[in-house]
Structure 1
Amino acid sequence: MTNAGPKHGRTVSINVSKLTAAMNHRGLSVEQLKELADVSTGTVNNLLAGKSVYRTTASQVAAALGTTLDVLMNASTPIGGASTVHEYLVSDVLSDWITASNGLKFQLCRLRHLELDRQARGKRFDLRDMTTDEEQRCRTWIKRHPNVCGTLQDHPNIVRNLTAFHDPVESFYWVIDEWIDGEPLQRTLGRQPFEPLVVKELLLDVARGLHGLHEKGIVRRELTPATITIRNSDGRAILTEFELAKLIDRGPTVSTAEWPVDPYRAGEADADDVDVRADIYSWARIGVHAAFGELPEIGSEKSALEDTLLPSSVQSCLTKAASVFRSERHESMNEVLPIVEVWK
């Protein structure tokens, strides 16, 4: 029999010294922590007194402090210190907890192999407070990333996955990719217009990565500057984060909940009949942003591109690809790649 009931009914207590140290590190009072964590003053005071609270409540407090419940409960792990997971050392936590469009909650970490001189990028997903059915559904989404990477493991514009596993010690699900010495495109996009040659290389790299996915029957679906890493050594754009990828003709693959608004995502991206034209739309919106220096309002891409140094053929290509109506976009990456490739 499937147990569909919640698993967060049990209570936990945390290390008072760790909680106090975390609050001092963030400069937070009881009232400030209460507001950040969206809990009551009594809850914070109970924790400071060493009393037990529900696990979900304690997790909210830990997240508000920029750490995890496991760290606050473990007296041997210093705040901000390192821990190990399988053969990796968690050397640095790179982000706060992030909630994806489909509700998956994850955190990015820099890892170092315990035996080999090798770094890796880890995403740890917190599934502990889900029902059994919810956890199984989310594991299916999470495993889509290593499956997609494995299908295109030798593609120069697709991140290489190393492994994925459930860690019984911390109760997180880990996805571990190769470490790319670079930064997300979103960190540089919008500061000023990219040089035309840089725009061309960005458009080609992303288009080639998408073309590789599409040839394997995969739609990226939610391509944003945050999911494109620019490698420092050669400036190559590498696509990452495939948990929301759509495997064509495999049935529904995303949450039924409404997705948050994203200015790079095609309007039909969260529908089950999504196809490669959703990726073409995102590709164009990102290209327009890079060329223009800011992201224009939806539907005003043509006028924005007229103020750039892009060839008229590329301007027309991006304008068509960014059409709100997918029937007006290009049918495949095979139509847009030659236009960008012949750009002198």
Structure 2
Amino acid sequence: MAKKRLQHGRTVEINVDKLSAAMDHRGLSVEQLKELAGVSIGTVNNLLAGKPVYRTTATQIAEALETTLGVLMGASASSGGAATVHEYLVSDVLTDWIAASNGLRFQICHLRHLELDRQARGKRFDLRQMTTDEEQRCRTWIKRHPNVCESLQDHPNIARNLTAFHDPAESFYWVIDEWIEGESLKRNLGRKQFSAAEAKGLLLDIARGLQGLHEKGIIRRELNPTTILIRSSDRRAILTEFELAKLIDRGPTVSTDDWPVDPYRAGEADADDVDLRADIYSWARIGIHALFGELPEIGQENSALEQIAIPSLVRDCLGKSAAVFRSDRPNSVDEIIHVIEEWSVGS
């Protein structure tokens, strides 16, 4: 009996939601995490099934995911902020602090309403230690997300925002969206190559979301697999994270100094005169990744497309949309939607 107690003390249970979110954030498949952590594939699968493992193994997993064991084990929500915020309980902190391209730090949390049977996805932005001017500037950036969501509140491919507010007790700014049961496209891409039918649905969903944004005069600008959620119930792609969206025909809206490299972002995305063709570029790069099974080097898209069994019209559309020079890309999302809608992939 004493031996069993000793073994039990050496094992820990990792929170499955937090483990999945950490893998999601880094875009790691089970196989990739196994390699990075130096564990067996059975160990990773056991963790995802909620089974306990030795603490040393759990620590290896945390280090491979560039997080801490405390986060993966489900450390108290109050360790990073209030356990409740307005009418919501912070039931899980799903990620460590993430740095956005504009320097804002945020965490993603799983929230539950204190009175209603409602879940929510909360992003809390860290405004601590900022000057008044810095905080005001950051609030302007943060509010762009709920404003974009509000302008397209009934669109099936745009996240639905519930509320946004400043929490003076913790100096966090909260943006709360509806809870979408599913995972990011980044995690999906890390797991498998998409079939033609899956890729067609994905490309149409993303393009229709972009169409809705463009009709409202909004350029997504930094579209990538991390900012697209795939809903489990129907595999629908839903666009989110609009803090860096740009309003067409306005002046500079977000500081773009030292943006980190993003292989899905158009080269001109950080320019003041960026237009909707930047989103078309990102759309194509994501689509080629889904169809090809990996993301080709910039400029190698056509070579990758030649290896994919798709109609020539679809191949040409994706190739032109991924052109380095925006003058070579289609002028509107409507053009690419028409091509993808006409794509017959069988039953």
1:107 partner SS:
strand
Match of 2:3 in 1: none
In 2 relative to 1, CA 66–97 (structure 1 residues): closer, same or farther, beyond 3 Å? farther
2:136 matched residue in structure 1: 136
* Aligned-residue identity in percent: 74
Alpha-carbon displacement from aligned partner over 1:13-44 (angstroms, at most 9, x marks no partner)? xxxxxxxxxxx999xxxxxxxxxxxxxxxxxx
Q: Secondary structure at the match of 2:330?
A: coil
Question: Which amino acid counterpart does residue 159 of structure 2 have in structure 1?
Answer: V
Q: Is the partner of 1:91 in helix, strand or coil? A: strand
Post-superposition CA distance 1:125-146 (Å, at most 9, x none): 0011211111111100000000
| Displacement after TM superposition at 1:247 (Å) | 0.6
How far off its partner does 1:77 sit?
7.1
Residue 18 of structure 2 corresponds to which residue in structure 1? Answer: none
Q: CA deviation at 1:249?
A: 1.6
Query: Which residue is equivalent to 1:54?
Result: none
Question: 2:100 matched to which residue of 1?
Answer: 100
User: Structure 2 counterpart of 1:107, which letter?
Assistant: Q
1:316 aligns with 316
Alpha-carbon shift at residue 269 of structure 1 (Å)? 0.5
TM-score by length of 1: 0.77
1:162 equivalent in alignment to 2:170: no
In 2, Cα distance between equivalents of 1:132 and 1:168: 13
CA deviation digits over 1:87-134, x for unaligned, max 9?
000000111100010111100000000000000000000011211111
Change (3 A) 1:146 1:313: same
Letter matched to residue 214 of structure 1: H
Deviation, structure 1 residue 233 = 0.5
Tell me how far apart the structure 2 counterparts of residues 151 and 66 of structure 1 sit (CA, whole Å).
Answer: 40
Confirm or deny: 8 A CA contact 2:150 2:160 kept in the other structure: yes
Q: Residue in 2 aligned with 1:300? A: 300
Report SS of the residue matched to 2:294: coil
Deviation at 1:190, TM superposition (A): 3.8
Q: How do 1:1-344 and structure 2 match up within 5 A?
A: 83-344=83-344
Provide the aligned length of Structure 1 versus Structure 2: 279
CA deviations on 1:15-74 (whole Å, 9 max, x unpaired) are: xxxxxxxxx999xxxxxxxxxxxxxxxxxxxxxxxxxxxxxxxxxxxx986889xxx9xx
**Is the CA contact (8 Å cut-off) linking 2:219 and 2:279 kept in structure 1?**
yes
Structure 2 vs 1, CA of residues 334 and 159 (structure 1 numbering), >3 Å: closer, same or farther? Answer: same
CA contact (8 A) 2:296 2:304 kept: yes
> What is the alpha-carbon distance in structure 2 between the residues aligned to residue 245 and residue 93 of structure 1?
25
The answer on whether the counterparts of 1:190 and 1:295 sit within 8 Å (CA) in structure 2 is no
Residue pair 2:77, 2:90 contacting (<8 A) in 1 also: no
Q: Which runs of 5+ in 2 are unaligned?
A: 1-11, 15-65
State the SS of the aligned residue for 1:266.
coil
For 1:118 and 1:110, locate their aligned partners in 2 and report how far apart those are by CA, in whole Å: 11
Structure-2 separation of matches of 1:77 and 1:302: 47
1:94 and 1:110 in contact (8 A); partners too: yes
Paired residue type of 2:92: D
Aligned residue identity for 2:194: F
- Residues 78, 156 of structure 1: alpha-carbon distance in 2 compared, 3 angstrom cutoff: closer
| CA RMSD in angstroms, aligned pairs only | 2.3
Structure 1's unaligned 5+ residue stretches are 1-23, 27-62
CA, structure 1 residues 341+78, in 2 after alignment: closer, same or farther (shift >3 Å)? closer
- Structure 1 CA distance, aligned partners of 2:94 and 2:240? 16
Aligned pair in 2 of structure 1 residues 25, 134: CA closer, same or farther (>3 Å)?
Answer: farther
Over 4 Å off, 4+ runs:
63-68, 76-82
CA–CA separation in structure 2 for the residues paired with 1:313 and 1:126:
46
Q: Which amino acid aligns with 1:327?
A: S
The DSSP-based 3-state class of the residue aligned with 2:175 is strand
Matched residues in 2 for 1:80 and 1:265: separation? 31
Q: Which amino acid aligns with 1:287?
A: G
